[in-house]
């Protein structure tokens, strides 16, 4: 199953719209915890969605971090060092830039900077690092 993005009006578009609606509604309604849970499920679905010609999801690498991919060690996917200096880029880069590079690496269409998908993935990865010490700016190969 190869897909970088689903067509307009797809289930994913509805999930993103629902996620945005949950964030916009805030805590003014009594059913907030259910709607937040629903939004987190949408974000987790994006994190585990297989994409690109290599048919990989973020979770395929980040949740199996004791392995190697293309000769490089796979990290745990904790966003504690951003912005970071990547030797490959020869400059500082954001987490969104790294996510786009990863999507390109699995031969998927990268999301636009600031897109809801990148913001959701960035938020999820940062939530996984909750409580860990920040090391910014970090240096990576």
* CATH code (residue 31): 1.10.760.10
CB 139 within 8 A of CB 84: yes
Residues of the chain falling short of pLDDT 70:
1-33, 65
Find the length of the chain.
141
Write down the pLDDT at residue 35.
72
- The phi and psi torsions of 99 (rounded to 5 degrees) equal -65, -40
CB 59 within 8 A of CB 48: yes
Assigned domain for 1 exists = no
Task: State how many domains the chain has.
Answer: 1
Assigned domain for 20 exists = yes
Write down the pLDDT at residue 27.
46
Write down the pLDDT at residue 17.
54
The pTM of the full predicted model, rounded to 2 decimals, is: 0.72
């Amino acid at each position: 199953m190869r897909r970088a993005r689903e067509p307009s009006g797809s289930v994913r578009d509805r999930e993103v719209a629902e996620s945005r609606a949950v964030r916009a509604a805030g805590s003014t309604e009594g059913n907030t915890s259910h709607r937040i849970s629903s939004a987190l499920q949408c974000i987790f679905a994006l994190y585990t969605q297989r994409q690109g010609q290599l048919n990989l999801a973020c979770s395929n690498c980040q949740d199996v971090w004791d392995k190697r991919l293309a000769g490089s060690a796979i990290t745990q996917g904790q966003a504690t060092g951003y912005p970071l200096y990547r030797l490959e880029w020869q400059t500082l880069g954001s987490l969104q830039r790294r996510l786009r590079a990863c999507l390109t690496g699995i031969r998927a269409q990268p999301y636009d900077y600031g897109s809801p998908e990148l913001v959701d993935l960035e938020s999820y990865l940062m939530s996984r690092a909750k409580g860990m010490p920040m090391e910014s700016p970090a240096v990576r190969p």
